[in-house]
Structure 1
């Protein structure tokens, strides 16, 4: 574990090379993706992966997403049924994760898969993260770069505030464009299962692959983001309804509020701003000694499904 604050790296050639070198040495590096910042480590290194769980305070039964640079790396790690290939062709690189059968020769740390016979894989689209993956030359485990169960990080300053000296370096490429984690899908003989709502909308998926079976909070966790309580600020989150005296209010669309996800009611903007606004609301609640954050209703369509999924988990009993 680092004994000092993390090194801040620039999103240039020098920063990319330094990030890759730290990963090769077993370090933890917060990397930008189009979704959120990820807490990255060499997915083949038991000690490095264990440091992810330790830094986040993440339960060991909650598997990690492995990020790779190209389809050749996917093929080395997992089996690819036909449905998975169609989804990959349509949506990779991008905010989609596929849960696939793990190859016996994959070479990943068993901590990555939490003992499951499957592995969650993604090809990110962010050019800086792709450059780090190419320079590193191997698979990287990278859950969201925040304490487990707390608000995800969409800016470098969120990472530093949440994890601080537990991270060796943060590669700062500015705010994340999508703002919510990847959509997680599991192709299976019985049909396509949706394990987590995310930055790829259900409508886009069904246009390519047909209907999906929702399985976002199963009895047994088989993918990240399925715990009932997650993404939570320090204070309670309340969804919809009338604000109570002293509540910190988060609006959507026209209307007075302390903070807003989108003044125009734009779901893309709201998704991009979601975690940034929740961080700001949490700070404001601490300043005002407020007991709750009240969030306006969000339409449950398109990216609104992913936003509502995160808000419901943030509001769940802890």
Structure 2
């Protein structure tokens, strides 16, 4: 069932979470598929519905700082500085977990990923549920993340208890995940908070490449993928090599004057604004995937600010399937 995110419906959604159900809800980044983070049986439903492997940990969403003390065993000075500056917002912190966090949430790791979303609907839902909420993106595992209730309804509508429609997600790309477990802070997933902003607060951070050991969501080499193959191109000159008879879709960073031969073209930002491009990325990929093209050519962007997160998503979308 899909409903508008009214006060009454948010209360209903909170009741569903309390009773062990699943609710899709908007955050400032993407739509999440939420369950009571402290109920392992409810969390197991997330993995079942998404067909998500259990080695991939989930992010725990909170609405009050008080929950941090209950969910973790240590919050250091760097974490406190980042929380003061960026919470609520698109920053997830990986910290040592306490015993109340079920192992299914953390994939058996001794750490837990926590964030406080800034979306009013998300915060109100967590308050009404009276519990932290585990919530990966509300889509089948590995597919393009949802940034509208339409995306969620099309992909999971008949499999979950409720969809709270709160409109389009303003940031449109998942949160930045930062591990503070080791002495050297590490970005495990670039996202909606640019790395440069984090470094202004705590100094230089390392960007961890995708690896065999999954320490946070979004670290698999192939992820965020449309069913249609994606190929990244750097120069518009490369488009001249496309055969006129090819059934091609093109994802452009910004508008240009070239006459491009393609069945379907999406432009992320008329003026080449990275914030606007990030907000439109997943919706554009959804439209291209639904257009019936046989291949999607995606234009590379500069890897500064949100460009780092955009390129992370495009590389994972274009990666070959893992055996």
| 2:81 alignment partner, one of 86, 90, 103 | 86
5 Å-filtered alignment, 1:252-271, equals 252-255=253-256, 258-271=265-278
Partner of 1:4: none
5 Å-filtered alignment, 1:190-229, equals 190-229=183-222
| 2:171 alignment partner, one of 178, 183, 192 | 178
1:102 equivalent in alignment to 2:97: yes
| 1:276 alignment partner, one of 272, 277, 283 | 283
CA RMSD of aligned residues (A): 1.1
Partner of 1:39: 33
* Superposition deviation, residue 221 in structure 1: 0.2
- Tell me the secondary structure at the aligned position of residue 152 of structure 2: helix
Distance 2:21 2:96 in 1: 28
Give 5+ residue unaligned stretches, structure 2.
none
Contact 1:251–1:263 under 8 Å retained in 2: no
Contact 2:157–2:163 under 8 Å retained in 1: no
Describe the shift of the 1:259–1:51 C-alpha distance in structure 2 as closer, same or farther (beyond 3 A): same
Contact 1:197–1:216 under 8 Å retained in 2: no
Cα displacement string for residues 52-102 of structure 1 (whole angstroms, at most 9, x for unaligned residues): 001111010000000011110011101211111111111110000000001
Give 5+ residue unaligned stretches, structure 1.
1-6
Distance 2:203 2:170 in 1: 27
- Tell me the secondary structure at the aligned position of residue 252 of structure 1: strand
Partner of 1:292: 295
Distance 1:19 1:216 in 2: 37
| 1:10 alignment partner, one of 4, 14, 24 | 4
* Superposition deviation, residue 189 in structure 1: 4.3
Partner of 2:316: 313
5 Å-filtered alignment, 1:21-100, equals 21-78=15-72, 79-100=74-95
Contact 2:29–2:170 under 8 Å retained in 1: yes
Partner of 2:249: 248
Distance 2:194 2:151 in 1: 25
Distance 1:169 1:191 in 2: 41
- Tell me the secondary structure at the aligned position of residue 66 of structure 2: helix
Runs ≥4 in structure 1, deviation > 4 angstroms?
none
Distance 1:29 1:88 in 2: 26
Describe the shift of the 1:189–1:233 C-alpha distance in structure 2 as closer, same or farther (beyond 3 A): closer
Contact 1:30–1:40 under 8 Å retained in 2: yes
If the length of structure 1 is used for normalisation, what is the TM-score?
0.94
